[in-house]
Chain A
Amino acid sequence: MSLIDALPSPSFKRRPWQPNVVLCCLSGSMLAAAWLLNVVSVAPNRIVSGTAFGMVDAIGWPGAALVSLLSLAMATLALMPNVRHYRAVLAIVTLTLLLMPFGLMVAGHWLVDPSLPQARLGIGPAYWTVLFVLLLCLVELRLRLGLSRWWTALLLFGVSVVWWGCAALWLDRLALVQEFQARQGQFYQALMQHMVLVSTAVGVSVVLGSLLAMLMRRYERLQKVAFTLLNFLQTIPSLALFGLLLAPLAWLAANVPTLAALGVSGIGNAPALIALIAYSLLPMVRNTYIALEEVSEDTLQAAKAMGMRTTQRFWQVRFPLALPVLLEGVRITAVQAVGLTAVAALIGAGGLGTFIFQGLGQAAMDMVLLGALPILILALMVDAGLGALADALRPGGRQ
Chain B
Amino acid sequence: MIELSHVSKTFGDATAVDDITMRVAKGKLCALVGTSGCGKSTTLRMINRLIDHSSGDIILDGQAIEQYDPVKLRRRIGYVIQSTGLFPHWSVARNIGLVPRLLKWSATDTTARVEKLMGLLGLPVEEFAHKYPHQLSGGQAQRVGVARALAGDPDILLMDEPFGALDPITREKLQEELAKIQSRLHKTIVFVTHDMDEALRLADHLVVMRDGRIVQQGTPLALLQHPHDPFVESLLGGLERGLKQAALTRVKDHMTSLGPTLPAQSRIPADFSLRQALSMMLRDHCDRLTVVDQNDVPIGELSLRRIVKEAQWDRTSQRES
Contacts and interface: CB of A to CB of B under 8 A. Distances in A.
Nearest to B88: A395
Nearest to B83: A298
Interface stretch (B73-81, B206-214, B218-226, B239-247): B73-81
B102 A306 contact: yes
B88 A304 contact: no
Contacts of B134: 396, 399
Interface string A288-311: 000000000011011111111100
A270 B87 CA distance: 44
A177 to B, nearest CB: 48
Nearest to B133: A396
B50 A305 contact: yes
A399 to B, nearest CB: 6
- Chain A interface, >50% SS class: helix
Contact of B85 (A302, A320, A396): A302
A397 interface: yes
Contacts, number: 65
Nearest to B149: A306
Contact of B72 (A299, A306, A307): A307
A317 interface: yes
A251 to B, nearest CB: 50
Interface string B35-51: 00000000000001010
B102 A321 contact: no
Interface string B136-173: 00000000000010000000001000000000000000
Interface string A270-293: 000000000000000000000000
B71 A309 contact: yes
B132 interface: yes
A299 B89 CA distance: 11
B81 A301 contact: yes
B99 interface: yes
Contacts of B90: 396
A397 B132 contact: yes
A304 B50 contact: yes
A304 B133 contact: no
Nearest to A295: B88
Interface residues of A, number: 19
Interface in A307-351: 307-309, 312, 317, 320-321
B132 A395 contact: yes
A306 B88 contact: no
- Chain B interface, >50% SS class: mixed
A298 to B, nearest CB: 5
Given A396-B88, A396-B133, A397-B132, A304 B74 contact: yes
A317 B87 contact: yes
Contacts of B158: 305
B63 to A, nearest CB: 17
Nearest to A302: B85
A302 B81 contact: yes
Contact of B102 (A298, A308, A395): A308
Interface string A364-396: 000000000000000000000000000000011
A330 B24 CA distance: 52
Contact of B75 (A298, A303, A307, A317): A307
B98 interface: yes
A320 B81 CA distance: 22
B86 interface: yes
B70 to A, nearest CB: 8
Contacts of A303: 85, 87
Contact of B79 (A306, A317, A395, A396): A306
B135 interface: yes
Contacts of A307: 71-75, 99, 102
A309 B158 CA distance: 19
B119 to A, nearest CB: 21
Nearest to B158: A305
B297 to A, nearest CB: 48
A50 to B, nearest CB: 58
Nearest to A399: B134
Contacts of B79: 302, 305-306
A308 B87 CA distance: 13
Nearest to B85: A302
Nearest to B71: A307
A101 B74 CA distance: 68
B80 to A, nearest CB: 9
A395 B88 CA distance: 6
B133 A298 contact: no
A368 to B, nearest CB: 46
A317 B89 CA distance: 8
A306 B98 contact: yes
A309 B101 CA distance: 13
Contacts of B85: 298-299, 301-303, 305
Contacts of B77: 305
Contact of B89 (A302, A304, A305, A321): A321
Nearest to B103: A307
A321 B88 CA distance: 8
Contacts of B87: 299, 302-303, 317, 321
Given A307-B73, A321-B88, 15 more contacts: A299-B87, A301-B85, A302-B86, A305-B50, A305-B85, A306-B74, A306-B75, A306-B98, A306-B148, A309-B71, A320-B89, A321-B89, A396-B90, A396-B132, A396-B133
Which 10 A-B pairs rank lowest in CB-CB distance, beginning with the nearest? Answer: A302-B85, A396-B132, A395-B89, A307-B75, A307-B74, A305-B79, A298-B83, A395-B88, A298-B85, A320-B89
Interface of A: 298-299, 301-309, 312, 317, 320-321, 395-397, 399
Interface of B: 48, 50, 71-75, 77, 79, 81, 83-91, 98-99, 102, 132-135, 148, 158
8 contacts: A299-B86, A299-B87, A305-B50, A305-B79, A306-B102, A308-B102, A312-B102, A396-B88
